[in-house]
Amino acid sequence: MKIDSTTRISVIIKHNNEAIDAIASINPHFNKLRNPILRKILAPRVSIADAARIGKCSVDELLVKLEKIGFEISSGPILKKENGLTKSNQLTEEAMNSEKKESLDVRPILESGKDPFNAIMEKLSKLQPGYILEVINSFEPTPLIKILEKKGYSTEVKDQGEIIYTYIRQIQTKKIAEGDQKKLFAVSIDEFEQEKSKFKNKLTEIDVRDLEMPLPMVTILNEIETLLPDSALFVHHKKIPQYLLPELADRNFKTWYTEIKEGNIQLLIHR
């Protein structure tokens, strides 16, 4: 069988059971592959490249081991060492300095042989807006991160050797703009002011509260058409505009909104 860095671990194990021992022999990080439940969780969601990162070894090391037990290495896609999951550390810093953080240690769940996925999702669904969830784990939860990013969360991994911290925050109200990642931000008043201050002299302010629908939407969309690339539109609105937000995302605008009080929503729209 031909394999490359994108081949899934589950496919490899299915083809040849010895692969479990071969991979596990690289270093102790891969011992969890011997646990059938963890294997079931991880293997189908992880490629060789992912595995190398989780297990802190090089892709080549893995490929060489697998070659020994009879796999053919294809010249396939050239592998990238990083796939950009852990570049920024903004979330981590915020989590360190902020009170708005909740922690979940999933190691006991893993030790009891269960999948912590549901526990994490449940905790996330109860997380208050703006809060960050810190997941404490013994390996980088690549499958979880992939799922979460699709669902509109931003994640960051901090590697502390034996313990891996994963920080998760919802970056948008997913109900409104699934798939329109990083274009919609429900934020606190402070965060909103902070974002607004970036556009000090380049802010156009409009108040659409006294307009009958659909004029608020028409007015805003008219305004953004003439908006200069580095300026922003600051809008006073009566409600979170359900029809407008997806429209803005479609047009590649970023929207920040915050609720001052009921009937008084502020929006900041920019490219």
Residues in contact with other proteins by CB under 8 A are 175-180, 209-215, 217-218, 220-226, 238, 240, 242-243, 246-247, 249-250, 263
Choice between 62 and 248, CB closer to other proteins: 248
Choice between 91 and 220, CB closer to other proteins: 220
CB of 125 to other proteins, least distance (A): 10
CB of 244 to other proteins, least distance (A): 9
Choice between 90 and 264, CB closer to other proteins: 264
CB of 214 to other proteins, least distance (A): 6
Cα angle: 36, vertex 39, 44; to 5 degrees: 140
Choice between 41 and 217, CB closer to other proteins: 217
Strand 254-261 vs strand 264-270: parallel, antiparallel, or unpaired? antiparallel
CB of 179 to other proteins, least distance (A): 6
CB of 127 to other proteins, least distance (A): 12
Choice between 74 and 181, CB closer to other proteins: 181
- Kindly report the length of the chain: 271
